Structure 1
Amino acid sequence: METLYQFVQLSKSERLQTFTDEKLNKIEKKYDFITRAEVHFKKNHADDKNGFICNIKLSVPGPQIFAESNADSFEAAAVSTIKDLDKQLDKKKGQMQKH
């Protein structure tokens, strides 16, 4: 799976990329039909407590899968986003097997 990162008005963080890669690799092993992931990190300055946003778009057969989370840290937002994606991928996998 190809993974692209974008840090919106932030400096690039190798630590955050490594953390997110580890989490994405777990779902890639579970769902082998994922071809690409686009990860975006941004900070919402208006909301101080939960202003860390992570959104991830996955390229899979059919429509792309997207999830976004807002948390008190980028790591927590990434984990929450990936959990949402895991649920969507599980549903998609079930639909793919029925056909």
Structure 2
Amino acid sequence: MKINIQFVNMSTSETMEAYTEKKLASLAQKFEKIINVNVFFKIENNSKDKGKICEMELSVPGPRIFASSNEKNYELAVKKTISDLIVQLKKRKETTKPY
């Protein structure tokens, strides 16, 4: 699995990259058909409580899977986004038929 992390209109963070890669590694152990992951970290300036946005796009066999979350910090945003991806991957796994 190839991981591409981009920070949009903000400075990069090595600790955030390491945290995201660790979480995605556990996701890859559960679902082995993941080919590529694009991760985007964004900041929303006009938000009061939230404003830390994490978007993830998975390349898997079939249509791509996308999830996004807006939380008060990036760690929560990564957790929420990955949990949304897990739900979508489980649904996809149930509908695919092994031939």
Q: Give the TM interval when normalised to the shorter protein.
A: over 0.9
* Shift of residue 98, structure 1, vs aligned partner: 6.5
Determine the C-alpha separation between the residues in 2 that align with 1:6 and 1:26: 20
The sequence identity of aligned pairs, in percent, is: 39
**CA displacement at 1:46 relative to structure 2:** 0.5
Corresponding position of 2:55:
55
- Alpha-carbon RMSD across the aligned residues, in angstroms, is 1.1
Q: Which residue of 1 aligns with 2:18?
A: 18
What is the CA-CA distance between 1:19 and the residue it aligns to? 0.5
**TM-score when normalising by structure 1:** 0.96
SS at match of 1:45: coil
Instruction: Provide Cα deviations, 1:54-87, integer angstroms capped at 9, x if missing partner.
Output: 0000000000000000000011001000000000
Structure 1 runs of 4+ aligned residues shifted over 2 Å read: none
Aligned to 1:75: 75
1:55 aligned partner, one-letter code: E
SS in 1 for 2:49: coil
**Structure-2 residue corresponding to 1:27:** 27
Choose 65-74 or 89-98, whichever is displaced more: 89-98
Partner deviation per Cα, 1:26-73 (whole Å, 9 max, x = no partner): 110100000000000000000031100000000000000000000000
Partner letter of residue 92 of structure 1?
R
Give the Cα–Cα distance (whole angstroms) in 2 for the partners of residues 21 and 84 of structure 1: 17
- List alignment gaps of at least 5 residues for structure 1: none
- Give the count of matched residue pairs: 99
TM superposition score normalised by structure 2:
0.96
Structure 2 unaligned residues grouped into runs of 5+: none
